[in-house]
Amino acid sequence: MSNKTLVMTTFEDEDSESEIAAGLGALALTPTTLFESPRRMSLMEQWNEYFQKGTLEDFQRLCVDLGLPGDLPSKTKCRQALGGVHVNIKQSLACENKPHEVKIFNSRNALVRWTRKNNAFFPTHELPKGSPLRRLLKIMRY
């Protein structure tokens, strides 16, 4: 026969129970916060968070982050400037210190080689129309 003891605390009145519960209110945890690991954002989600609504200011910020002038007067001018930039989007999104840490490649072939070597491809499906991503993405064949 095993010796197991059950300890049970009872409260004499409701006030003492509510005082204890109020004191523990700051410690309340839910099971979902204890065991959920933070979900990694997809590259498209990272892009959407970075680029936001796609205003002229967002386009200009992107230009500055890629080492281009930040005073281009229109989205069209920004798109035109972005067409000549060889950058890996995945790598640039991961940079904390833009534009200093962003790798700008001298040629499309250099970008392709680096992208393949580092397996840093950006998914091309479901690209929004008018997005500067269409200008930045390069065909990975040569």
pLDDT tens figures, 15-55: 555 555 455 454 444 444 445 556 788 999 999 999 999 99
Alpha-carbon gap, residue 134 to 127, rounded angstroms:
7
- Its pTM stands at 0.68
Q: Tell me: the pLDDT tens digits for 84-139?
A: 999 999 999 999 999 999 999 999 999 999 999 999 988 877 677 878 888 888 76
Residue 65, pLDDT > 90, answer yes
Among candidates 35, 53, 31, 51, which has minimal Cα distance to 43?
A: 51
Among candidates 102, 53, 96, which has minimal Cα distance to 82?
A: 102
Residue 72 Cα distances to 10, 18, 78, angstroms: 72, 63, 6
Residue pair 140/116 in contact by the 8 Å Cβ criterion: yes
> Which residues make beta-bridge pairs with 105?
86
Alpha-carbon gap, residue 62 to 65, rounded angstroms:
5
Say which residue, 7 or 109, is predicted with more confidence.
109
Q: Which residues, other chains included, contact 90 with Cβ-Cβ below 8 Å and sequence gap of 6+?
A: 43, 120, 121, 122
Alpha-carbon gap, residue 69 to 61, rounded angstroms:
9
What is residue 100's predicted lDDT score, i.e. its pLDDT?
95
State the Cα angle at 58 between 116 and 135, rounded to 5°: 40
